[in-house]
Amino acid sequence: MFDFEKLGLAPTLTAALKEAGFAKPTPIQEKAIPLALEGHDIMGLAQTGTGKTLAFGLPLIDALLAQQGKPLPKTAKALVLAPTRELVNQIADSLRPLAKGTKLRIATVVGGQSINRQINMLSRGTDILVATPGRLIDLMDRRAVDLRSVRQLVLDEADQMLDMGFVHALRKIAPQLGTPRQTMLFSATMPKQIEELSRDYQTDPRKVQVSPPGKAADKITQSVHFLPKGDKPTKLREILSQDTNALTLVFARTKHGAERLMKGLASDGYNVASIHGNKSQGQRDRAIKAFRDGEITTLVATDVAARGIDIPGVAYVINYDLPDVPDNYVHRIGRTARAGREGEAIAFCSADEVDQLKQIQKLMKIDIPVASGTMPAAAAPSGNGGGRGKGGPRRGGGGRKPGGQGQGQAKAAPAAANKKRRPRRRSAVAA
């Protein structure tokens, strides 16, 4: 028996899963799907890259296949809210192959795209609407969408929605939905506010957890380099040059910092693009597609992309700047080691970021192994710095010390040498 058949899904869905190449459910899918099919509200806690999208998407499609009739104009039967444009698109792209051959419609609405085009699309009605809260409210205010037919609500990456202030939007959206309804809430971390959100919007939810909140995937090798802020550009080029064909995601703290970093790398001959809040949706979509296809091999991003990139081929995540919110570190590094693969997460930590590092380690209940340099003595935590992370490729981490390295300030090849590098050949990236 095909493993997904054991979960009680409709034959149409199991056939679509077979055709799409899914062999067996992930732990979060195995636990959540049967409960969701029974109609329970679900609180799903799992690290990124564990298959949360199908954990809620399959029960949604299964329930809609059992319903009669097309959606009325301007209405939706199910609503999925996600915090970023990238995540909305990723969710829809994951669900559409499973609805292939059915009459189900899946629509997306996000900011940065033509609202008039979205109004025209919604005028025909849709079965599943995947949306960012801000754009959905814009459409509600224009009376372009009627949510009274929604009987299933999904809040994906609910903790980030809270971080981004979307709780106020949710309070405006929820009263417009139909009742009774099933609400599924999925998150990679479990701050106190998530419990409060569950109490407000769920009824007797079944909690499904496959890893402790704040824990990174087991196959991610983590390391940290302590170095002065001014040495970060050199260290980044040194690390990128060690594996020129690997897909590498580099996180910067600000939009301007990300763009400046990208332009510097491009001028040195690196095959690079950037995505951040100052980029149009079209520019962001094209950059992510080029990264997925291996046409570019280094993508510089702000946290806008931390939960919206689902590319199994990402081998390395580099935290050029540590995030101010510790949970965001978990989501950033979750962009690697996806779909059972291995990956490496490398962090840079300058003197003014030590407090952020300590908060990250406290959240994850680990000491990230030191690859180079020394934490300033006054800020050093108790303990000896922990052991090696598990598995994964090794590039610039886990104690590798290039010649001449001291205090994490090893110098890479001169910029002129980088400029002479040949263009990188495309990587083979799994679809």
Complete domains list, the chain, with CATH: 3-209 (3.40.50.300), 220-419 (3.40.50.300)
SS3 395: coil
What per-residue confidence (pLDDT) applies to 308?
A: 62
| pLDDT, tens only, 275-294 | 988 888 788 889 988 998 99
| pLDDT, tens only, 5-53 | 899 999 999 999 998 888 889 899 999 999 999 999 999 988 766 788 9
What per-residue confidence (pLDDT) applies to 363?
A: 87
Residue found under tokens 């992370």 = 389
In angstroms, the CA 122 to CA 144 distance is 7
Instruction: Work out the average pLDDT over 54-80.
Output: 95
What per-residue confidence (pLDDT) applies to 160?
A: 79
Contacts of 303 (CB under 8 A, 6+ apart): 251, 323, 325, 328, 331, 332
187-196, 208-217, 321-330 — which is least confidently predicted?
208-217
What per-residue confidence (pLDDT) applies to 2?
A: 62
| Element at 154 (helix H, strand E) | strand 152-156
CB-facing half-sphere around the CA of 190: CA atoms within 13 A: 16
Instruction: Work out the average pLDDT over 241-253.
Output: 93
Contacts of 104 (CB under 8 A, 6+ apart): 61, 64, 65, 127, 128
- Residue-wise DSSP of 167-219: HHHHHHHGGGS-SS-EEEEEESS--HHHHHHHHHH-SSPEEEESS-TTPPPTT
Residue found under tokens 């922990």 = 386
Is pLDDT at 314 greater than 60 in this prediction?
yes
Q: Which of 217, 211, 169, 219 is nearest to 186 (CA)?
A: 211
| Element at 80 (helix H, strand E) | strand 76-81
Is pLDDT at 161 greater than 90 in this prediction?
no
Higher pLDDT, 291 or 187: 291
What per-residue confidence (pLDDT) applies to 311?
A: 80
What per-residue confidence (pLDDT) applies to 373?
A: 94
Q: What percent of the chain shows pLDDT beyond 70?
A: 83
In angstroms, the CA 103 to CA 106 distance is 10
Per the prediction, the chain carries an average pLDDT of 84
Is pLDDT at 423 greater than 80 in this prediction?
no
Q: Which of 344, 357, 287 is nearest to 317 (CA)?
A: 344
| pLDDT, tens only, 339-397 | 667 899 999 999 999 999 999 999 888 999 999 999 865 444 444 343 334 444 455 54
CB 241 within 8 Å of CB 364: no
- The distance of Cα 305 from the centroid of its chain, to the nearest Å, equals 7
What per-residue confidence (pLDDT) applies to 383?
A: 42
What per-residue confidence (pLDDT) applies to 208?
A: 93
Is pLDDT at 309 greater than 80 in this prediction?
no
Is pLDDT at 215 greater than 70 in this prediction?
no
Q: pLDDT category, 268, cuts 50, 70, 90?
A: very high
What per-residue confidence (pLDDT) applies to 214?
A: 52
